[in-house]
Amino acid sequence: MSKGTLFLIPNTLGDEAREEQLPHVIPNEVTKQASQLEYWIVENAKTARSFLKAVNSVHPLIKPLQEMKMVEWSGPSSKIDINDLLKPLLSGHHLGLLSEAGLPAVADPGTEIVALAHRLKISVKPLTGPSSLMLALMASGMNGQGFMFHGYLAIKALERIQELRSLESQSKKNRATQLWIETPYRNLGMLESCIEALHPNTQLCIATHLTLSDELVVSQTISEWRKAWSSQSPKIKYLEKKPAVFLMQA
């Protein structure tokens, strides 16, 4: 029996008005392929159904939503045996791995699933969609030839400041852009740490709600961020509790 293909399905970057977003950020051929998949690995079944409902508005689904075979998996801490997740593929069925936002396995759970698929000699097909990291890098005005992504930085303020100074030193030495993300409710704490830790001439970009109608990308020096912070610029308040990408170049 031939094995199925693992399709890596990109999602929109925001969960509001997905039907309106979809044609602008997900290619037609991707939504068409997604509509033909019956088996899914998702982080959250509710939001996955919301995505597929939007897909259905463009291309009719192969089966009604309630008949889709979805398994929730949010990473290695999940209680499900990862080998069980890929059984449909071994039985010849195609399977979709869906991100909550953006691209599967990029700053997102799924790497372990893709790695296991390769070990089992299962074909892996990545499909085109939005990446907040790449969009932010494009819009930052920073070095797009040399960059490094660090995921989440330290939570405790003192450790975070030390880490930021280390990244600034690396950036200055290698002329490389440093990227990281933060939990939305800690955005302002991260910005405050950047203002405290980094050199006045270091460039800091914060990009939030990318591809959405209210997206904001601000790229300026720490000195300029310090002035905006002290004057409580509306841009500062806007950053609170919104998914954001932070980029820095010394």
Angle between helices 45-56 and 18-25 (to 10 degrees): 70
The residue among 114, 100, 142 whose CA lies nearest residue 8 is 114
Distance of CA 204 to the CA centre of its chain: 19
Q: What is the identity of the amino acid at 72?
A: E
Per-residue pLDDT of the chain in tens (250 residues, 90 and over written 9): 799 999 999 999 987 788 888 989 999 999 999 999 999 999 999 999 999 999 999 999 999 999 999 999 988 888 889 999 999 999 999 999 999 999 999 988 899 999 999 999 999 999 999 999 999 999 999 999 999 999 999 999 999 999 999 999 999 999 999 999 999 899 999 999 999 999 999 999 999 999 998 899 999 999 999 999 999 888 888 888 889 999 999 9
The CATH homologous superfamily of the domain defined by 132-249: Tetrapyrrole methylase, C-terminal domain (3.30.950.10)
CATH T-level assignment (fold) for domain 5-126:
Cobalt-precorrin-4 Transmethylase; domain 1 (3.40.1010)
Q: Tell me if residue 32 falls in helix, strand or coil.
A: helix
- Residues forming a β-bridge with 203: 221, 249
Read off the pTM: 0.91
Distance CA 89, CA 82 (A): 13
Q: How far is CA 171 from CA 122, 154, 187, 204, 243, in A?
A: 38, 18, 21, 12, 24
For the chain, the structural domain boundaries read 5-126, 132-249
